[in-house]
């Protein structure tokens, strides 16, 4: 094994430098910081995660597709529904007392997603799915244990599923 110590590597021609061959592995020691001072492929250069950037790879290192929420929202359901914070939600439609449709900014890949909802502040209230699932929206209901629908101030919906 050899050690090469340099401060800068510049290509002799062109603008590319190739390290190793296909299938080679390069190990970066603990405590080392890599800095992207330009546009590098394989990095999220703008620091943002969007639906389009979620991986469909089956490899452990690339597969974030199944590990992140595709939709989440916290909203006030009293009066006209208002979104407090969200990801991938374009709007919330009021369907009457205790009925809300969460409209997605980007469609999901299918309607086989997992949905969880919660209602805060008023004990004895539950949230569940209302009607059928859709790739572009989901309708939820807020009711007490007797089935009486109500508009509540603190509601949360989170969805895990496939990206389009």
pLDDT-derived band at 137, boundaries 50, 70, 90? very high
Q: How confident is the model at residue 46 (pLDDT cuts 50, 70, 90)?
A: low
Q: Are 145 and 92 contacting, i.e. CB atoms less than 8 angstroms apart?
A: no
Q: Flag whether the pTM goes above 0.85.
A: no
Domain ranges of the chain: 71-160
- Of all residues in the chain, the percent with pLDDT exceeding 90 is 45
- d(CA 7, CA 112) in angstroms, rounded, equals 52
The pLDDT of residue 61 is 46
* Cβ contact 69:160 at 8 Å: yes
- Asked if residue 82 has pLDDT above 90, the reply is yes
Neighbours of 102 (CB within 10 A): 26
Give, as one character, the DSSP assignment of residue 158: E
CA angle, 87 then 93 then 95, to 5°: 140
């Amino acid at each position: 094994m050899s050690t090469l110590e340099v401060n800068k590597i510049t290509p002799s021609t062109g603008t590319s430098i190739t390290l190793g061959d296909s299938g080679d592995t390069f190990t970066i020691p603990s405590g080392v910081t890599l800095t992207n001072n330009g546009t590098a492929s394989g990095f999220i250069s703008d620091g943002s995660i969007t639906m389009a950037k979620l991986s469909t790879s089956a490899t452990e290192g690339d597969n974030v597709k199944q590990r992140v929420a595709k939709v989440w929202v916290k909203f006030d359901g009293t009066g006209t529904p208002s979104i407090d914070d969200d990801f991938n939600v374009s709007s919330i439609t009021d369907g009457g007392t205790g009925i809300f449709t969460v409209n997605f900014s980007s469609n999901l890949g299918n309607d086989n997603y997992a949905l969880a909802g919660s209602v805060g502040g008023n004990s004895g209230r539950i949230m569940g799915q209302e009607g059928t699932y859709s790739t572009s929206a989901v309708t939820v209901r807020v009711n007490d244990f007797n089935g009486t629908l109500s508009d509540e101030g603190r509601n949360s919906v989170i969805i895990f599923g496939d990206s389009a």
